[in-house]
Amino acid sequence: MHRNISLGLLVVLINLPLLAQDIPGPRSYLAYQLQEKLTIDGLLEESAWKKAPWSEPFQDIRGGDFPAPAQLTRMKLLWDQNHLYIAIRLEENHLWATYTERESVIFQENDIEIFIDPDGDTHHYYEVEINALGTLWDLLMTRPYKNGGKPINGWNINEFQYAVHLEGTLNEPSDTDEYWILETAIPWKSLSQSGPNFRAPEPGEHWKINFSRVQWRIEATENGYAKKINPDTGKAYPEDNWVWSAMGQVNMHIPERWGYVQFSDIIVGEGTASFQIHPDEKIKNELRKYYEAQRKLFANSGHYSKHPDELDIVSSLTEVKFEVGETRFKISAPSAIPGERRWNITEDSRIWQD
């Protein structure tokens, strides 16, 4: 969903401090290691795929208080030293896709979307959109739209492998279809921002990742399908957005709200691991309280605060430092791990360690 709008054998919900009561907590998934070779064909017939756990069903992008999706969507992940492997199964009664040109605005029809922020700083993250024809739109976001981010459509995932498998007939309203599957293999080196010094994740490391299914109301036509028109407005009904980890609003471009994928060194099917949230995630969430308070203050008064006490927030952080200018700020706090570097957040929402 590329828009600027404001509106494991184990899957765990994490009880992290939330920025607001109506924002769902992020989901988590344990990705186990792979030893056998996968054929990227969309069939998922290898034993490793059969052993890998499915995620919980996708939900409304706004959260569990909203109607559950009409059709089931789930994903599963595997990894090795070379690739991240993703499989997504989408139940679908009416397979529909017409875009065939790469970099088309694919979310104007039904699609599945993958969002990846390897270092979790909320900047320079990746978005991939694919439809049932296998048409690809891959792009790099410099930062979230709310912070002036720009999509770089010229960015491509080098050596990206993927396949779509359909159980049904595409663009044929006379029958009822079953599902479609997307299978991908994404090279770590293509996700790296370190050039030739790329590496696979370390066991226990976690990345911020999310998935979104865009689903339109459609109806049969002489030539296949078309979006269903709302007679009250004369326009197409708005699309549904079904996601793995809920965002709390109709906006995928809030990377800090994506789910966690933790990488285990256990071979899939040979044991289980437990999800362990990094203690610094709490530090990062607390810093985001200061970030949101600073943005609110600036919107109301035209300036940022130089003193934590002026922001009227409750936080467990200690040794918080402020660096504030007319249009910029940096707020930092110590890591929860003694001896580790401080965490910083700036006015553009980037969060990182010194």
Residue 117 reports pLDDT greater than 50: yes
Q: What is the pLDDT of residue 312?
A: 87
Segment among 29-33, 91-95, 298-302 with least mean pLDDT: 298-302
Measured distance CA(282)–CA(298) in Å, rounded = 25
Q: What is the pLDDT of residue 16?
A: 39
Q: What is the pLDDT of residue 1?
A: 55
Measured distance CA(165)–CA(30) in Å, rounded = 25
Residue 6 reports pLDDT greater than 60: no
pLDDT-based confidence at residue 185 (cuts at 50, 70, 90): very high
The string of pLDDT tens digits covering residues 124-182 is: 999 999 999 999 999 999 999 999 999 999 999 999 999 999 999 999 999 999 999 99
Q: What is the pLDDT of residue 199?
A: 86
pLDDT-based confidence at residue 192 (cuts at 50, 70, 90): confident
Q: What is the pLDDT of residue 15?
A: 36
Mean pLDDT of 50-55: 98
Mean pLDDT of 248-268: 98
The string of pLDDT tens digits covering residues 313-354 is: 999 999 999 999 999 999 999 999 999 999 999 999 999 999
Domain boundaries, the chain: 11-267, 280-353
Contact between residue 334 and residue 318 where contact means Cβ atoms under 8 Å apart: yes
Structure pTM?
A: 0.92
Residue 210 reports pLDDT greater than 50: yes
Measured distance CA(13)–CA(327) in Å, rounded = 37
Q: Which CATH number fits domain 11-267: 4.10.910.10, 3.40.50.300, 3.90.780.10, 2.60.40.1190?
A: 2.60.40.1190
Residue 13 reports pLDDT greater than 90: no
